Structure 1
Amino acid sequence: MKRSVASLVCPNLRHAVKAKHGLEKESMRIFSDGKIATTSHPKTLGSSLTNHYIKTDFSEPQLEFATNARPRIEAIVRELQDLHIFTSRHLQGEWIWPFSMPPVLPKEEKDIPLGKYGSSFSGEWKTLYRNGLGLRYGRRMQTISGVHYNFSFSNLFLKQIFEKEISKFDKEEISEMYLSVTRNFFRKVPFVLYLTGATPAFDETFLPVRFDFQFTKHKSHTLFAPYATSLRMSEIGYTSQVQDALPINYNSLKEYVDGMCYAVSTPYPPYESLGGSPNQLNANYLQIENEFYSPIRPKQIPKNQERPLDALKNRGIQYIEIRCLDIEPESPTGVSKSSLAYIQMILLDGILRPSPPILEPEKKRIRENTRRAIWEGRKPGLSIVGEEGAEIDFTRAGAEYTESLFPIAEELDRHSGRTFYQDTLSTMLEKWRDPGKTPSGRFLKRLLEEDWEFRDLGIHLARENFRNQSQMELTPGKWNSFEKEVHRSVEELAKIEETEKVRKFPTPKICNH
């Protein structure tokens, strides 16, 4: 199946220009003083259980935007912008927080409200799941927001890769291809965090008690790590030692499904001490598949009452979800086209290069390199562990890899009639030359040199974004489309609550593998 990068780039990558791109982006609603909003999800945005575009995530004030799948990056970024404009115009005295790390949090964790989804057992099941997350990881950690980028290759591109008609594909071939890409992406996660991470600082209310990590205090309420890139992805965020020890691997579909099945079916003694309902769905390592924190996940859309693992087993991998992107403060919507384009090129590169299985020694090496990039990514002279176990220069390795993507960028640009992808790589190379140009570097520089409190800078940017978005026009037809979805979601919620009169939390069936 695999050929060299050169041999595939030379024929052309015209079918790789178009793919299926989608975005999911979380953001907290705040009051003007920077505290999380204590109001319910606005009724003018529809039902948070059934609206396809605007839901809530862990917490009631934690908005979650979801775009449609589109063939171009520009289209999903524009749709995300439309969702922000639409939402801002429906908020009363509230703004959208511009950072991944949360705004000012209550003193007591119990005062961070869980998402509420109505009186149906489907809605209460979602709230119960979130209560379990809060008990296991802390409600504060769950208020960290981020961006998820969903990606799948076009069918014509897959036909070019496999050299046969799409109708003759089988799920094993497609799944192995996506897992191959996934493994290669894992190997580049430290570079992604350096180039896109934007969470080197946070408000002191996020960690109100003693902690084991060393942070520098700025002004009265701000803490930061001088060389950090993405604290969101660190041990104070979405890194779990319990999950890291799980036997979940990406070397075959069966291996991945079996590992995940073990995690959602096997009780973990410390979680057993938390009790069952009404505290959590169950005491297993993972309550459900979505609890698994990973920089990238293979996905298949479930049908009817099918659980995600069964969907993967039955139909294979449909797309991959990149989960390691911080909200970019300099973008009013929190997402930049250049970051998405860079990741698209990594994914294309990942399908063109060999991708051997990731065995335990390499898994540990990737984890260590990721940890270094998170905490010290902008530190001068930082080294990471190379393939042979030797220490190599992080900056040089990242720059060389970025340079290696130019043939792909040139081919993508040739078939789109522009220089967007090449310009993206040139921008990324500038970041490798100067750590101060990374999102985390620029953010921390502004915070310190302009002498902002983290919370005050967030309020300032939220206010500016609100003012700008209140004057922007939506894409023609989008307002009506979003309003129709609001009304449809409310009607669907009413039907669900009528048919689910019996209050009984569904018990996900155990994986049948």
Structure 2
Amino acid sequence: MKRSISLPTCPNLRHAVKAKHGLEKESMRIFHDGRIATTPHPEGLGSSLTNHFIKTDFSEPQLEFATNPRPRIEAIVRELQDLHIFTSRHLKEEWIWPFSMPPILPKDDKDIPLGQYGHSFSGEWKTIYRNGLGLRYGRRMQTISGVHYNFSFSNLFLKQILGKEISSFTKEEISELYLSVTRNFLRRVPEVLYLTGATPAFDETFLPVPSDYPFKKHKQHTYYAPYATSLRMSEIGYTSKVQDELPINYNSLKEYMDGMHYAVSTPYPPYEKFGEMPNQLNNHYLQIENEFYSPIRPKQVPKNDERPLDALKARGIQYLEIRCLDLVPESPTGVNKPSLGYIQMILLDGLLKESPSIDQAEKLRLRENTKRILWEGRKPGLTVLEDSGQETDFIARAKEYTRSLLPIAEELDRHTGRHFYQDTLKLMNARFDDSRLTPSGKVIDRIENEGWEYRDLGIHLAKENFRNQSQMELTPGKWDMFVKEVQKSMQEKIKIEEAEKVKKNTTARICNH
């Protein structure tokens, strides 16, 4: 399938630097001995139901930070840093875990606390959804954390390369562009996982019986796969055989929406054993759209109580959510700018190149390539499958692709007066030349050569990060902004609960009469 809109191959990228960037980042709160925290969400951070910046994800101690959309990568990384400084100053005898794979977990799954959001319908609904996730995939798997990078092209840039006002295009045409980018990004996921994956190891409490997988044991408590890049995205993490069989494709907006509608409305018999509410929202393949695991998802911001699918149907695709980024253990925020810059260049490249439909054969081929990189990405001589089905050297292919991004890097740097994007490509090429420089390679080096237990290294980094953040100052005005959001979120939560209480009392009086 070819695009109905033709694009120039080498446009001026003056307006491409004004894209919208956003981050959502998850991290576990831990006690100082490395155990998952069992305390409630700190009051000083507001309501996890209604705070725009600081929420919780699956588990009560699993913090989720969200930045505002910003025109530059530097701005969202700085705001994420401010959120960490603010949060650290509200933690009592706790630190923030630096890895994507979880800290020390309790023996019983049921002792991993679900997120709690109050007594409103929406709050209890969130907890029931999380309970369903725990029943389907296990609570341990759901404690894995990661980074979601949200990206959209600026209207000025789309106007520039399309040659006319955005308002003159239909939502289907704009969605077609974003789906074209999505397909091309899926073709580059192996490179992203190799360059950014940071989860080759985990604590023994995560997988009690890891003998079914090719893991090595280190000392008393650590398991690792020597050449793995991102176990977080593997079968022991966010990969589901059930979801892999769903008819969800990215060849058109209708095809994507039809597949998602099937997933959220069709019962899956093995899930019937879990029952209905309050155990899970329903017994469908997906309880809701957000349950779908994918390295990238097309998104539209819902309005009020609108469902994500209804938002897409009404207004088309607004932005892309990249979901395959592990936390960077060496970074106090879990994020670094070069990884985001590299992905931005992939997305730009994906827009400018033709993007054929992904048929079933290619889907299986991409899945196989991804699996190889997840488990053996740093293995010397590793090969992946080409479109023809022939094996090809992964590193040689990845370096060739990365070199092809240089014109984009030069153009972006020309309009920003810096060398950020060109320096990013140099950094990534160095990782292709020496796999020990990759985030996963560095973790393995610290385990094998420095002798760290996974849990002890996590505690060490968490302590260092906390100490550093306690000495840092927030961006002027951010402390007051976060405090106001905390106060506002508490008021909104109370307002929601009181409104529902009044509604219930009114209904009860009417029924009694």
Deviation at 1:210, TM superposition (A): 5.2
2:64 is aligned to 64
Question: Do the aligned residues in 1 keep the contact of 2:227 with 2:378 (CA within 8 Å)?
Answer: yes
Map 1:253-272; keep pairs closer than 5 Å. Answer: 253-272=253-272
CA shift digits 1:251-288 (9 cap, x unpaired): 00000000000000000000011111111000000000
What is the distance in 2 between the residues matched to 1:467 and 1:288? Answer: 39
What is the distance in 2 between the residues matched to 1:262 and 1:456? Answer: 45
2:79 is aligned to 79
What is the distance in 1 between the residues matched to 2:29 and 2:207? Answer: 20
CA spacing shift, 1:494–1:193, aligned 2, 3 Å: same
What secondary structure does 2:330 align onto?
coil
1:509 is aligned to none
What secondary structure does 1:357 align onto?
coil
What is the distance in 2 between the residues matched to 1:61 and 1:40? Answer: 7
What is the distance in 1 between the residues matched to 2:212 and 2:314? Answer: 44
Question: Do the aligned residues in 1 keep the contact of 2:7 with 2:162 (CA within 8 Å)?
Answer: no
What secondary structure does 1:124 align onto?
helix
CA shift digits 1:160-196 (9 cap, x unpaired): 1211012212101110000000000000000000000
What is the distance in 2 between the residues matched to 1:338 and 1:352? Answer: 21
What is the distance in 2 between the residues matched to 1:248 and 1:166? Answer: 28
Deviation at 1:212, TM superposition (A): 2.0
2:245 is aligned to 245
2:312 is aligned to 312
Is 1:117 the counterpart of 2:123 in the alignment? Answer: no
1:168 is aligned to 168
Question: Do the aligned residues in 1 keep the contact of 2:181 with 2:351 (CA within 8 Å)?
Answer: yes
1:2 is aligned to 6
Range with greater deviation from structure 2 (300-309 or 455-464)? 300-309
Deviation at 1:96, TM superposition (A): 0.2
Is 1:324 the counterpart of 2:324 in the alignment? Answer: yes
Is 1:490 the counterpart of 2:509 in the alignment? Answer: no
Equivalent residue letter for 1:184: N
What secondary structure does 2:64 align onto?
strand
Map 1:342-491; keep pairs closer than 5 Å. Answer: 342-491=342-491
What secondary structure does 2:213 align onto?
coil
Range with greater deviation from structure 2 (208-217 or 220-229)? 208-217
1:510 is aligned to none
Equivalent residue letter for 1:152: S
CA spacing shift, 1:443–1:267, aligned 2, 3 Å: same
Deviation at 1:220, TM superposition (A): 0.2
CA shift digits 1:98-144 (9 cap, x unpaired): 00000000000000000000010110000000000000000000000
What is the distance in 2 between the residues matched to 1:443 and 1:411? Answer: 34
Question: Do the aligned residues in 2 keep the contact of 1:2 with 1:353 (CA within 8 Å)?
Answer: no
Equivalent residue letter for 2:78: R
Question: Do the aligned residues in 2 keep the contact of 1:40 with 1:61 (CA within 8 Å)?
Answer: yes
Question: Do the aligned residues in 2 keep the contact of 1:2 with 1:352 (CA within 8 Å)?
Answer: no
TM-score by length of 2: 0.96
Deviation at 1:3, TM superposition (A): 3.6
Equivalent residue letter for 1:258: D
Equivalent residue letter for 2:230: S
What is the distance in 1 between the residues matched to 2:382 and 2:353? Answer: 26
Map 1:195-210; keep pairs closer than 5 Å. Answer: 195-209=195-209
What is the distance in 2 between the residues matched to 1:4 and 1:124? Answer: 50
TM-score by length of 1: 0.96
Equivalent residue letter for 2:154: S
Give unmatched runs, 5+ long, in structure 2: 506-513
Q: CA RMSD in A?
A: 1.0
Deviation at 1:235, TM superposition (A): 0.1
CA spacing shift, 1:115–1:365, aligned 2, 3 Å: same
1:21 is aligned to 21
Equivalent residue letter for 2:284: N
Deviation at 1:503, TM superposition (A): 7.5
What is the distance in 1 between the residues matched to 2:222 and 2:397? Answer: 33
CA spacing shift, 1:439–1:18, aligned 2, 3 Å: same
What is the distance in 2 between the residues matched to 1:214 and 1:445? Answer: 18
1:184 is aligned to 184
CA shift digits 1:350-380 (9 cap, x unpaired): 0000000000000000000000010000000
Is 1:103 the counterpart of 2:107 in the alignment? Answer: no
Range with greater deviation from structure 2 (207-216 or 233-242)? 207-216
What secondary structure does 1:398 align onto?
helix
What secondary structure does 1:110 align onto?
helix
Question: Do the aligned residues in 1 keep the contact of 2:8 with 2:161 (CA within 8 Å)?
Answer: no
Deviation at 1:211, TM superposition (A): 4.9
Equivalent residue letter for 2:136: R
What is the distance in 2 between the residues matched to 1:32 and 1:329? Answer: 17
1:127 is aligned to 127
What is the distance in 2 between the residues matched to 1:218 and 1:4? Answer: 53
Deviation at 1:46, TM superposition (A): 0.1
Question: Do the aligned residues in 2 keep the contact of 1:4 with 1:353 (CA within 8 Å)?
Answer: no
What is the distance in 2 between the residues matched to 1:324 and 1:494? Answer: 36
CA spacing shift, 1:277–1:503, aligned 2, 3 Å: farther
Deviation at 1:246, TM superposition (A): 0.1
What is the distance in 2 between the residues matched to 1:241 and 1:380? Answer: 28
1:33 is aligned to 33
Question: Do the aligned residues in 2 keep the contact of 1:121 with 1:503 (CA within 8 Å)?
Answer: no
1:225 is aligned to 225
What secondary structure does 1:500 align onto?
helix
Equivalent residue letter for 1:377: G
Q: Runs in 1 of length 4+ with deviation above 6 angstroms?
A: none
